[in-house]
Structure 1
Amino acid sequence: MLAEVLQLQEMLFHEEIIRSNICPRMAPSELMAYCNICMESKPLHQFVDINFCSHKFCLGCMSMYISAKLDEDAANIRCPEPGCRVGVLEPLSFQYLLPSDTFERWCDSLCQSTIRAKFYCPFKDCSALLEAGGGGDEEEEEEEVISASECPHCNRLFCAQCKEPWHHGLDCREFQKLGEDERGREDLQLWELAAKQKWQRCPNCMITVERIDGCRFMRCRCGQCFCYICASPMSQEDHYCFECQS
C-alpha cells in the first residue's frame, strides 16, 4: 500500500510540472485590462483606480480626460464611466501620475471653486484673485456699506461696490460715465472737484460746463441743449426738462 501511495504522489508531481510548463503563471506586470475610453487592452499596471467605484481606466486616457474637464472650468471631476454616479477623482491620488502643470491647474481650480463670490483686482499689473465679502446677517445689513477696500497683494485701494479703482468723491454711477482715458489720478481729482461744485457735462461732447446764473437750460458750444441739473436733452423752444418735470 505504501508503494502505491508513493507512486500516486510521483504521478501528481509530474502532472503539476507538465501543467506549469503548458500554462505558466503570469507575472503581475503581464496582466491585461481593457480601457473603455481608448478601447484597448493594456497592462494592468498602467491603469488607475477611481474612488468609490470599481471602474478602471488607463493613465493616458485619464490624463486627457482630467485636462479636458479643467478646460471646461470643472473642479470636482467624476468618474468618466457613463451612468456612474458614485465615482470621484481626487487630486492627491493623481499627484505623481499627472504632469505637474495639470496637477497644479486642478488644485487651483478646486481652490477657486471654494470662493463664493470672486473677482480680480482692477489694476492690470496686479489682477490678483479676490473674494467679495459680505454676509447675510441682519446686523451686517444694518452696518454701513463698505466703499473703499485695499488689495492685499498690491496694497492699492479699489471700490468694493463696482470693483473699479477707488474713485474718491464720485459715486459708482458717475465713475462709470467716465471714459477709459478719464480715470487717471488727475482726472479723478478734477471730477471730484466738479462733483463738489455741481458742474455738469454736456451729454453730446462730454465737455464740463459751469452755470453762473440763469435757469437750468444750457446750450453747449457743440449745439446740444440740455438740463444743467440732470444733463437730459431739453427743447430750445420751451426750456422744459421732461426728466426733472420742470
Structure 2
Amino acid sequence: CVTCLSDDVPVREAAKLSCGHYWCNECLKRIFILSLTDPAHMPPKCCTDEHVPLKHVDKLLNYETKKLWNKKYIEYTSSNRIYCPKPNCGEWIQPKEIHNNVGKCSQCRTKVCAMCNGKAHGDGECPKDEDLMRFIEIAKKNKFQRCYSCRAMVELERGCNHMTCRCTAEFCYVCGDKWKTCKC
C-alpha cells in the first residue's frame, strides 16, 4: 500500500489505481472518511489529479456514509459556497436554494444574503460589519492574507508564497491574487 507502506496486504484487500499504485482497503476507507470533513481531500486522489474511483470503496462504506459522501462532494466542489449564518446551524445552502442573491437554509429556513453571507437584508449594499472590518485591519497589520475564493483568512508561518486554501483555491500570499497570475 502506497499510503501506509504495508507490504503484507493481500491483493484482494487492495485496489490498484490508474496511476499504478495500490491502496489497501483500510487506507481507502480512511481517506474517504477524511474527505467528509476536509475539502482539501475531496475527492480523494493519489499522485495525479484523477480521483480515486468510488467503485473501490463501494463495499467498504455503508449506505449512509456513501449518501453523505455524495452530498459533501457536491458541497465541497461547488464554487462560492454559502453557509447559514444562524448560530448553531451553519448548514450549507445549495446553489439551487439561492435566487436573486438570497438563499434559504434548508434546516432552519433562515434567509441568507449570497453576497455577504450574512442574514438577508433586502436590496442595496450589504451592511458593514464593524467587527469584521477591525479583524481585517488587524490581520493586515500582522501580514495575514485572505483567500480570493472563500475569503478565509490565512497566515504564512514558513515556506513559499504559494498558498492552497482549505477550499482548494491556490493564490499568492504576497498579493492575494490567483496563483500564477501575478508577478510577485
Give the TM-score of the pair, scaled to structure 1: 0.39
Decide which structure has the larger Cα Rg and report it. 1
Give the TM-score of the pair, scaled to structure 2: 0.49
Q: Which has the higher contact order (CA 8 A, sep 6+)?
A: 2
Instruction: Report which of the two has the higher share of helix.
Output: 1
